[in-house]
């Protein structure tokens, strides 16, 4: 069921998960939050709007940063967010600066989970929180069609068990971990379906349209939802 038709998240974990991360981390107006791979900026705007904290939002896509800046103006939080058009692999913050890092929507898989977790540990204050969401495989027997559409050959997705080990090895203790409910996927694909009507930008590309139509088809019609899940985790840096 679609529960958030206004969403600008481009991932199945949306607003409620960002808010949960802020509450777990005790975010307040004196807090500093980093949003890695901010996309269209819904996560950054949500956390800034709810907690009035300072946010640094990074994305390697100039188009996404432009969109996110406009969204922050619409939501009345542009003065709270510093946007950076940067590759997270090439950015330095001079040590531990943030109370909370958001890495929503599979960005850890894009930048390499091990490296992303290590960077998060470096950039977080002692006992700071990392909140991330990422695709996992629920079964090792997923059909070829499902593996192909989510590009398992490139990303080599984790299972919940192997992700738990990565988190622990990176020096975090898990405080909350769950799979995003079906409504999260429905909100995500409802947003994607709207964007597939775009005539300019990323979603105007026929190849992108075809890829997303295939993914939606495989997820619902071929019951891909039985084999993939979106893991949401709030973890605390151990020291
Ligand atoms: C699936 S989107 C998720 C966006 C947003 N966090 C959300 O949940 O709606 C992933 C985003 O990560 C960005 N990204 C991927 N690799 C990145 C990198 N190395 N550095 C910065 N951003 C990156 C992409 O440009 C994209 O906007």
Q: Give me ligand 1 centre to Cα 39, in Å.
A: 5
Which residues are near ligand 1 (CB < 6 Å)?
9-11, 37-39, 42-43, 58-61, 64, 87-89, 104-107, 110-111
Q: What is the pLDDT of residues 32-89, one digit of tens each?
A: 999 999 999 999 999 999 999 999 999 999 999 999 999 999 999 999 999 999 999 9
Please state the pTM of the whole predicted model: 0.96
- Alpha-carbon gap, residue 6 to 149, rounded angstroms: 26
Tens of pLDDT along 95-145?
778 999 999 999 999 999 999 999 999 999 999 999 999 999 999 899 999
- CA–CA separation, 46 and 63 (whole Å): 20
Residue of the CA atom closest to atom 27 of ligand 1: 39
Q: What is the CATH number of domain 15-140+155-185+226-237?
A: 3.40.50.150
Which residue from 113, 150, 115, 159 is spatially nearest to 132, judged by alpha carbons? Answer: 113
Asked if residue 21 lies in contact with residue 44, where contact means CB atoms within 8 angstroms, the answer is: no
Ligand 1 center–CA 109 separation, angstroms:
10
Nearest CA to ligand 1 atom 26: 39
- 102/138 Cα distance (integer angstroms): 23
- Residue to mutate (ligand 1; options 37, 106, 112; most atoms within 8 A of CB): 37
Task: Using the mean position of ligand 1's atoms as its centre, give its distance from the Cα of residue 87 in Å.
Answer: 9
What count of other Cβ atoms lies within 10 Å of the Cβ of residue 56?
21
- For 150-182, what is each residue's pLDDT tens digit? 999 999 999 999 999 999 999 999 999 999 999
Phi-psi region of 112 (alpha: psi -120 to 50; beta: other; left: phi over 0): left
The beta strand positions in 60-97, using DSSP E, are 81-85
Within 13 Å of residue 96, how many CA atoms lie on the same side as its CB? 13
């Amino acid at each position: 069921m679609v529960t958030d038709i206004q969403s600008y998240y481009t991932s199945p974990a949306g607003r409620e998960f960002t808010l949960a991360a802020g509450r777990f981390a005790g975010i307040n107006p004196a807090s500093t939050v980093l949003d890695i791979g901010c996309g269209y900026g819904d996560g950054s705007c949500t956390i800034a709007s709810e907690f009035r904290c300072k946010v640094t939002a990074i994305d390697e896509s100039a188009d996404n940063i432009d969109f996110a800046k406009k969204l922050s103006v619409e939501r009345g939080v542009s003065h709270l967010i510093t946007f950076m058009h940067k590759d997270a692999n090439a950015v330095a913050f001079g040590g531990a600066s943030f109370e909370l890092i958001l890495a929503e929507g599979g960005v850890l898989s894009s930048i390499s989970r091990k490296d992303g977790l290590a960077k998060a540990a470096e950039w977080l204050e002692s006992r700071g929180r990392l909140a991330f969401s990422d695709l996992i495989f629920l079964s090792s027997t997923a059909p070829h069609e499902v593996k192909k559409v989510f590009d398992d050959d490139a990303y080599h997705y984790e299972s919940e068990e192997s992700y738990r080990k990565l988190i622990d090895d990176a020096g975090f203790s898990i405080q909350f971990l769950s799979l995003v409910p079906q409504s999260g996927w429905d909100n995500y694909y409802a947003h994607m379906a709207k964007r597939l009507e775009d005539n300019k930008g990323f979603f105007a590309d026929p190849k992108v349209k075809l890829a997303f139509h295939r993914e939606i088809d495989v997820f619902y019609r071929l019951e891909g939802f039985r084999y993939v899940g979106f893991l949401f985790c709030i973890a605390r840096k151990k020291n």
